Amino acid sequence: MPSPDLNSPLDYPDMQTTEQGQDIRRVLVFLREKSWIIVLCMAVSIIAAAIYLKKAPKIYEATATVQVEQEEQKIVKVEQIIQEDLKSQEILNTIVQKFKSRQLLERVLESNKMFAAVGTIPPGSTTPITRESIISRFDDNVKTSLRRQTRLIDISVRDKDPKLAAQLANSLVEQYVELDSQLRSTTTKGAYEFLKDESERLKKKLEDSEQNLQKYREQVGSVSFAQSQDIVTPQLRDLSTRLTQAKADTIRTKAIYEDAKKLGSNITALLAEPDVASDPQVQDAKINLIKLENDFILTSLRYKSKHPKYIQASNSLEEFKKVFTNAVLTAAAKYQRSCLMAYESAKTVEEGVEKLLKDAESNALSLADQAIKFNLLSREVDSDRALFEAVLNRLKETSITTDMAPEKIRLVQPAYPPSFPASPKIKIVLLLSVLIGGMLGTFIGFGIDALDVSIKTIEQAENTFSLPVLAAIPKIKEVSKNPGLIVATEGVSSSGVETFRTLRTSVLMGTKENESKIFLITSALPEEGKTFTSINFAVSLAQQGYKTLLIDADLRRPSIAEYLIGKNKDIPGLTDYLLGKKSLSEVVIKHKDIQNFEWMTDGTNVPNPTELLAQEELIRLFEEASVRYDKIVIDSAPIHVASDTLLIANKVHSTILVVRGCKTPVKAVTRSIQLLKNADARLTGVVLNLLPTGKGKGYYYHDYYYHGYYSDYYKKGSKNKASKNT
């Protein structure tokens, strides 16, 4: 079965629901981790709120409620001078705003003797109290509002004295009613004087209008133009009808005359005209002609055409036909003359009627002209009379309503001294302090988290560096208590042993068989736990059965000897071998408790460690050690501290970069990876070290989050099994 290539980008399944769940879980874990900041901010906010509540003055609020009537009360059936549609929403809002007018506020303050302190200097101030400041402060303490979907208005007044607050609220209502009554009375009296003067002027104007109308009647000699119009109108209508009829007769007779002229001398066509055919002479000639035609027919039957009687009959017939033709032509001429006479007579009638109509229209226009001025004068008289009567009636009504003061608002609920202060609101202030403190703490927590540029999760590391995370090593409590503890030797029950087994498996599977012998472990910065990782990784290889050699190549600050035996002096090691002072057997130390595990210190201090590591003796060391050992683990210096690691990186089979979780900056790690790649290092992957695993820290541990759970599970299982065996 082929080993998976851990150097290739990881292909995670697309599970949107899982990712969303992880995001929510991360937020919850983050809030749990930063809970101390949130709680601290909430505590500070609550303390500040408590101090404010203790020092803040107690303010009492008294409220009086009035109702706006839908219609003004009417004692008599007359209208007021000032009328308002009290059903209108705009009027209701206007009344609400009038309760805060400066004139009303001054009246209330004066009636309650609140201006007595004007000119005095209050304690703790150098500025004397002014009238304007008292009014302004009172305005700030007055609040008016219209209840939704009602005609009720609440007038609230705030003050340190509850009794004074109620007194001022009730005084606002009283002074409003009084001020409104005075305004109405003043306006009504002014209107009465105006109407009185106006009535005198309109009375004189009405007299002048009536005199002008009478003079015009005498001038035209007519009392009423309406009767004249009643006569002229039917006459115009009759003449118009007669003119229409006359025009129709003219058109008809003209058409008959034109048709008669078109007949000409065509006897057949002339005989077709009834008036010609019915002429007496034509009738007699027609009878004689018919008789001669009959005689000619009898003669033609008896005699030949050359017989004298035949010729005589034929000549008589021809002569009489001429007589008949002359009779027809004479009748046609008579018919045409009669048609012409009828046409001329109809035209004469039309012209006569048309002249009568024009005369009647001229009379009607003249009458209408006179009626216009008459109507203007009449309307002016009617208008002046109506206006005079209206002003006179209004004058009488105004004289009655001058002393009336109808109420527009009615007090529904007077203000009473409150028992509890309205400000400060203790519950609301405390609740807001908790919310503000929580929000501030959360904001600070997110700000701190946003400023943190370290690696926190496996996914973040793999996405950022495009390298696989070989293992995630949590913080182990036993190591903090026992600094020299080798976690990989603690057995199955150890909380960290499985982590290094995972690291061992990931490294061996991520490298080829012939290239998985020499491993270089380094870090970007100091104190990231590379030595701890190197020792435990080497031990885990030894436990797998590989003969393993651990070399301390950190010549700047070696720490393997101190970690394993508690001292780091006078022990020959790597530098002694490279200088040719010692052989490999002389510098290798075999661990007394761990089988297959041997190690080498840094050796004697040298002034030029970089030049020493660049010599060919290092390659000879690797070749000689590769013959004697199955696996070689090298602990080298941090990359950003010295260039020693970059000199070794291209001479080993696999390079592992240790990154401290939640501390090492991303830029430092990215720079280290780039330097290793430039040095032709075979970078196998990244080890996340010292990941938080305390309460709520599983967010950082992520894929290894469940490791502790299953470790406990196997731990409990082993105990149960032991108890059964006993």
For residue 576, how far is the Cα from the chain centroid?
Answer: 77
How many Å apart are CA 615 and CA 636, to the nearest integer? Answer: 16
- Give CA separation, 643 vs 521, 605, 675, 687, in Å: 14, 17, 10, 21
pLDDT of residue 722: 36
Under 8 Å between Cβ of 510 and 685: yes
The single-letter DSSP state of residue 608 is -
Overall pTM > 0.95: no
Same domain, 687 and 594: yes
One domain, residues 558 and 698: yes
Task: Please report which confidence band the pLDDT of residue 703 belongs to, taking 50, 70 and 90 as the band edges.
Answer: very low
AA letter at 163: K
Please determine, for residue 13, whether its predicted confidence score (pLDDT) is greater than 70.
no
Summary mean pLDDT of the chain: 79
Spatial distance between the Cα atoms of 157 and 64, rounded to a whole number of angstroms: 9
**pLDDT tens-digit readout, 530-570:** 999 999 999 999 999 999 999 999 998 999 998 888 876 67
Identify whether residues 447 and 525 lie together within a single domain: no
Distance CA 494, CA 482 (A): 14
Confirm whether 345 is domain-assigned.
Answer: yes
Backbone angles phi, psi at 481, to 5 degrees: -80, -30
> pLDDT tens for residues 14-65?
434 445 555 676 677 667 777 888 889 989 999 998 898 888 888 999 999 9
Residues 572 and 690 in one domain: yes
Q: Is the pLDDT of residue 658 over 90?
A: yes
> Looking at residue 403, what is its pLDDT?
53
DSSP category for residue 85: -
Q: Is residue 409 part of a domain?
A: no
Asked whether residue 232 falls in the same domain as residue 291, the answer is: yes
Tens of pLDDT, residues 59-99: 999 999 999 887 654 444 445 444 555 567 888 888 889 88
Cβ–Cβ under 8 Å, residues 104 and 98: yes
- Expressed as residue numbers, the domain containing 502 is 458-721
pLDDT in tens, 398-434: 665 555 445 578 889 999 999 888 888 888 988 998 9
Closest to 498 measured CA to CA, from 473, 528, 522: 473
Identify whether residues 375 and 432 lie together within a single domain.
no
DSSP category for residue 550 = E
Exposure of 692 by Cβ count < 10 A (0-12 exposed, 13-18 middle, 19+ buried)? Answer: middle
Predicted local distance difference test score (pLDDT) of residue 190: 64
CATH code of the domain in which 514 resides: 3.40.50.300
Q: Are 376 and 485 part of one and the same domain?
A: no
Q: For residues 711 and 490, what is the distance between their CA atoms, to the nearest angstrom? A: 13
Residues 6+ apart with CB under 8 A from 514: none
- On whether both 441 and 464 belong to a single domain, the answer is no
DSSP states of 4-28 = P-TTSPP-----HHHHHHHHHHHHH
177-191, 428-442, 675-689, range with the lowest pLDDT: 177-191
Q: How many CB atoms lie within 10 A of CB 564?
A: 20
Residue-level pLDDT at 629: 96
CA distance 525 to 682: 20
Name the region of 264 (left: φ>0; alpha: ψ -120 to 50; beta: rest): left
For the segment 140-170, what is each residue's pLDDT rounded down to a tens digit?
Answer: 999 999 998 888 999 999 998 999 999 999 9
Q: Identify whether 553 is part of a domain.
A: yes
* 142 domain residue, yes or no: no
pLDDT of residue 717: 44
Structural domain includes residue 179: no
The answer to whether residues 441 and 480 belong to one domain is: no
- In the chain, the number of structural domains is 3
DSSP 466-490: SS-EEEEEEP-HHHHHSTT--GGGS
Identify which of 254, 253, 241 has the alpha carbon closest to the alpha carbon of residue 354: 241
Contacts of 274 (CB under 8 A, 6+ apart): none
